[in-house]
Chains A and B, each alone.
Chain A
Amino acid sequence: MSRSVSTWSYRPGEWVAIFGAATTLLLPDSEKQRAAQLWELVDGGAGFDATLDQLLAPGLSVLPAFVLIGTDEGPTKVIVRGAGVRATLTTDAESVELDGSTVTTWVERTLEGVTSLSVSVGGAGADGPDYLIDGGLVRVARVDHPPHAAPAASGAPEEAPAAAVAAPVVVPAPEDDAVEEPEVGADLPEVDAVPDAAIAADDAATELFSIDEPSPLDDEADTSSVSPPAFDPMPEDGPTPDPSGMVWAPDAPSASPMAPPPPPPFPGAVPAADHDGMTRAGVTGDDVGPTPPGIPGQPQAPSVTRPVATLVISNGESVEVDRVVLIGRAPEARRFTATEQPRLVTVPSPLHEISSTHVEVRPGSGVDHGSAVVTDMGSTNGTVLVQPGLEPEELQPGIAVQLIPGAIINLGDGVTIQVMNP
């Protein structure tokens, strides 16, 4: 479907809808600011992937409910997220319902040959009149493509009459403000690692295996051949909760054949009563949501890379920056995985001016790739950085600064660290 032959209809409501040439984006009322930021992009004809990228840029933990529709060349792509958000896609062969209420992340569908598309986001106005729109930004409760009432003005010659196909959308009463949808899983780094049990059951099994692969210890060749029995999905059994409630949760794959339960507070968590303070395991196959190690808001450091710098410490010690290096009076390493053990470098501090874990130096990622970056870990007395040709600067705690060869990091107590090429 392309813009030239497509026109939408909408019913006025509370959400904000941006109709672009290639994509259509719906956001709740609370996301006006985000809508404003994305307006230029979508209106400028940005594609589905580019829009999604931008939508996700602020981070998953703050991702609101939304609907994103790609109607550019090729198959129609739709993502729905949030309570009460529904989309119906109709092709010649089938009619597909997507419901954003049932998942913690989102529901995504790609379909060829879509003849009509209807999205309702709940709230007031769901039963209102339909208005035509070809591009722009309006408040909506529901949108249809091609237009719902299919007035003569709409040019969509090759499309089936819209009224015939777009009708069966029941607008659910919103149980909850869509924006307040629990966003537990949204915190995790891997978006699609939280599959919707109902829609992506097969993916769930795949995810489990890929994640459980003991990659850190690949040299243990036989372990992978031992492990699979633990993941036997046993689809014929299904998760049979023990009457006593004392059985720990079964495999995620075996949970898949079940009808999706009412939205659990957490993907994969078993919504069974806990009778006795018994510890149970969730059925998540993946590591959902723990706060990643390191500094909040900073990208994850790669575990071990080629050395990007050598640190020459004033006590004569020399340290390669090929992984996270933590420097301090008595440094501690917090929450790392088996393959990314940080290097701990203890420096003398007779006056205790240096904090126990004072600074972190690690190989940079993203724009800092290939260089080392230094971060003050919230030290008591601070860190002064002198880069060649620049004025000395006091490091802001938690803010990584790229290091130029020749830079000198001053920790206090007479301890300085010179940054050299590796």
Chain B
Amino acid sequence: MRGGSGEIGTLGEQTGQPFVRPAAQLVGERPEPTRRCHPSYAIGPLHAVGPRVTGVELHHGAATDVGLVREVNEDAFLVAPPVFVVADGMGGHDRGDIASAIVVEEFRRLADEGYDPARGPAVVAETFLGCQARIADYDAGQRAQGARDFHAGTTAVVALLIEQSGEPKWLLANLGDSRVYKYNHGRLEQVSVDHSLVQELVDAGTITASDALVHPERHVITRALGGSGSTDADFFVLPLSAAERLVLCSDGVSGMIDDRHIEGILAAAEDPRDAADQMVAAAVAAGGRDNATAVVVDVVGLVAETPYDSERQRVSLEEKLGALP
């Protein structure tokens, strides 16, 4: 992220695009490893309409590390309750760090200015379009300066609170191969579905999930912000009770340590700050081949739902439907 903020400022002048956030507010400009924590955030009314929830708090932790191989941390994250983002910039020389920082800026603005919690998916889709336009402007500016074939890009996973039928819920959005997991009653479950070549091969039954972990094309993603691909995000809505803990991470974490390892860390680390730190540290210890970023959000104060049937139900559906396609 070194120098990243300065370049964005320059970009704004080039393209004439106004920047709402001063560059100094970019996330990730601190020396790595970065750790930003706010001990807790009580869900007040959301800025616009706002579900009225009392007695529920969001606790969160976040960590990022450049890893052992890469020179630049192109990951960025946002913790601006009730909005959380992880973005994994792509492009190396093409400055994926700028693209991921743009995503964080745009969602920080959303968190600061407030949003209509009843229009969750539309709000997020509009924000993605704004990101896409700014990244395109940035590309155009670079190309105008002679950088041929310039394409910055980034993944994005977003978790934010919305309101549906008068109740607060988690809205999750995904573009690319960063992930959202939910952790409940000691079990970790991936919620987002990677937009990646290997995921599609797995879905098609061409390779197995374990093949995917070592597939040579496992880093090829099929949707992203920036560039020409689809920017249609997948959305998910979870009741708050479905996840006592949400995890957002870049593939520098999920690609280095497996889900069981993450589950173990989440089980052992009660404080979400420790959980995020340990996830990133474990990814680096496992080789650190990519930038590693994790955001962990706990919902505190809900009446706990018993696990009852959620896992049995999932297994049951898969069995009854005759395994997976």
Contacts and interface: CB of A to CB of B under 8 A. Distances in A.
Contact of A283 (B133, B165, B228, B318): B228
A186 B125 CA distance: 28
B149 A250 contact: yes
B238 interface: yes
A64 interface: no
Contacts of A187: 200, 203-204
A288 B219 CA distance: 16
Given A281-B229, A290-B193, A356 B310 contact: yes
Contact of A226 (B133, B193, B310): B133
A357 to B, nearest CB: 7
Nearest to B92: A246
A211 B255 CA distance: 30
B59 interface: no
Contacts of B155: 279
A248 B129 CA distance: 20
A266 B201 contact: yes
Interface string B216-250: 11111111101111111111111101100000000
Contacts of A30: none
B169 interface: yes
A357 B309 CA distance: 10
A224 B110 CA distance: 21
Interface stretch (B31-39, B43-51, B135-143): B135-143
B231 A296 contact: no
A217 B126 contact: yes
Contacts, number: 278
Interface stretch (A85-93, A153-161, A270-278, A364-372): A270-278
Interface in A256-285: 265-266, 269-271, 273-274, 276-285
B218 to A, nearest CB: 8
Main DSSP-derived SS at the A contact region: loop
A283 B318 CA distance: 32
Interface residues of A, number: 89
Interface in A226-275: 226-227, 229-232, 234, 237, 239-240, 242, 244, 246-254, 265-266, 269-271, 273-274
A407 B137 CA distance: 55
A282 B313 contact: no
A282 B197 contact: yes
Interface string A174-196: 00000000111011000000000
B314 A335 contact: no
Given A246-B93, A248-B153, A266-B197, A330 B239 contact: yes
Interface residues of B, number: 91
Interface in A196-245: 208, 211-212, 214, 216-217, 220, 223, 226-227, 229-232, 234, 237, 239-240, 242, 244
B69 A251 contact: no
A280 B220 contact: yes
Contact of A285 (B132, B135, B230, B313): B230
Given A239-B149, A344-B169, A296 B136 contact: no
A344 B164 contact: yes
Given A217-B129, A220-B126, A279-B90, A344 B237 contact: yes
Contact of A278 (B92, B125, B169, B227): B92
A230 B139 contact: yes
Contacts of B235: 333, 335-338, 341
Pick from A282, A283, A357, A397 the residue with the most CB of B within 10 Å: A282
B321 A397 contact: yes
Contact of B309 (A217, A227, A346, A356): A356
Contacts of A335: 193, 234-236
A281 B231 CA distance: 12
B88 interface: yes
Contacts of B167: 346
A295 interface: yes
B290 interface: yes
A380 interface: yes
B221 A378 contact: no
A153 B227 CA distance: 60
Nearest to B72: A246
Contacts of A273: 216
Interface of A: 61, 182-184, 186-187, 208, 211-212, 214, 216-217, 220, 223, 226-227, 229-232, 234, 237, 239-240, 242, 244, 246-254, 265-266, 269-271, 273-274, 276-291, 293, 295-297, 330-339, 341-346, 352, 355-357, 377-380, 396-398
Interface of B: 69-70, 88, 90-94, 96, 120-122, 124-126, 129, 132-133, 135-137, 139-140, 148-149, 151-153, 155, 164-165, 167, 169, 176-177, 191, 193, 195, 197, 199-201, 203-206, 216-224, 226-239, 241-242, 251-252, 255, 289-290, 305-306, 308-310, 312-314, 316-318, 320-321, 324-325
Given A231-B228, A248-B91, A290-B222, 7 more contacts: A226-B137, A266-B200, A284-B222, A289-B204, A336-B121, A342-B237, A356-B242
